[in-house]
Chain A
Amino acid sequence: DGGITQSPKYLFRKEGQNVTLSCEQNLNHDAMYWYRQDPGQGLRLIYYSQIVNDFQKGDIAEGYSVSREKKESFPLTVTSAQKNPTAFYLCASSMFPASSDTQYFGPGTRLTVL
């Protein structure tokens, strides 16, 4: 099956620890994105990448880092500098460049920092 996978579904960490969220896609998409969703709120863009070895900050990049060493993978690290890391994290991907650049989402990872 083609799609986007995120692991794990639930993640618990102690305050002050860095944690890395996985995102893998087999859709052959060039662009990948990380969003954060807080309860009752919309999605906010953290980082995005249009091609391998390149990525751009989104609206709320502080306290996060990413890498894009492979086309199919775009891991997100939540660092101890992120003040409110507890949230639902969503990864998405799309074709780029393309006239049809619909973003498709993974199932999400719910991170809880204790």
Chain B
Amino acid sequence: DAKTTQPPSMDCAEGRAANLPCNHSTISGNEYVYWYRQIHSQGPQYIIHGLKNNETNEMASLIITEDRKSSTLILPHATLRDTAVYYCIVRVGGQGAQKLVFGQGTRLTINP
């Protein structure tokens, strides 16, 4: 079962920052927060992950609250190609092969 809660849908204007929230109130100390997205009829695409500290890469930024019970994925300048379902996943890292549990995710629509 998914251990995260995300809003089912969000809209964002093209060129603006898209902020996608995720609640993971039962996260354990050794669990990472991962974000993936899935564009219709394609495989999930890895975006970013983090443990405690905020992380940034070429795609997005991940802000994790100090108590680690929630996080926010930020797409700084959203484009139409960012329209997708975004999944927030918590899992233990470095423990070998294990399944990813995808919840319902947030369907993000970028509007022109």
Contact = CB atoms under 8 A, between A and B. Distances in A.
B99 A58 contact: yes
B42 A99 contact: no
Given A42-B2, A43-B102, A110-B41, A101 B46 contact: no
Contacts of A110: 41
Contacts of B44: 43, 90, 105
A92 B46 CA distance: 11
Contacts of A56: 97
A35 B100 CA distance: 9
A63 interface: no
A101 B95 CA distance: 8
B94 A42 contact: no
Contacts, number: 65
Interface string A44-64: 010011100000101100000
B46 A42 contact: no
B43 A48 contact: no
Given A33-B99, A42-B103, A59-B99, A100 B42 contact: no
Majority-rule SS of B interface residues = loop
Q: Chain B interface: which size bin?
A: 20 to 34
Majority-rule SS of A interface residues = strand
Interface in A80-114: 88, 90, 92, 94, 96-108, 110
A31 interface: yes
Given A102-B49, A105-B45, A108-B41, A97 B100 contact: no
B93 A100 contact: yes
9 smallest A-B Cβ distances: which pairs?
A105-B43, A42-B102, A45-B99, A99-B94, A31-B97, A108-B43, A50-B97, A105-B44, A48-B97
Given A6-B43, A58-B99, A92-B100, 15 more contacts: A33-B99, A42-B103, A43-B44, A45-B100, A48-B99, A50-B97, A56-B97, A90-B44, A97-B94, A99-B94, A101-B97, A105-B45, A107-B42, A107-B43, A108-B41
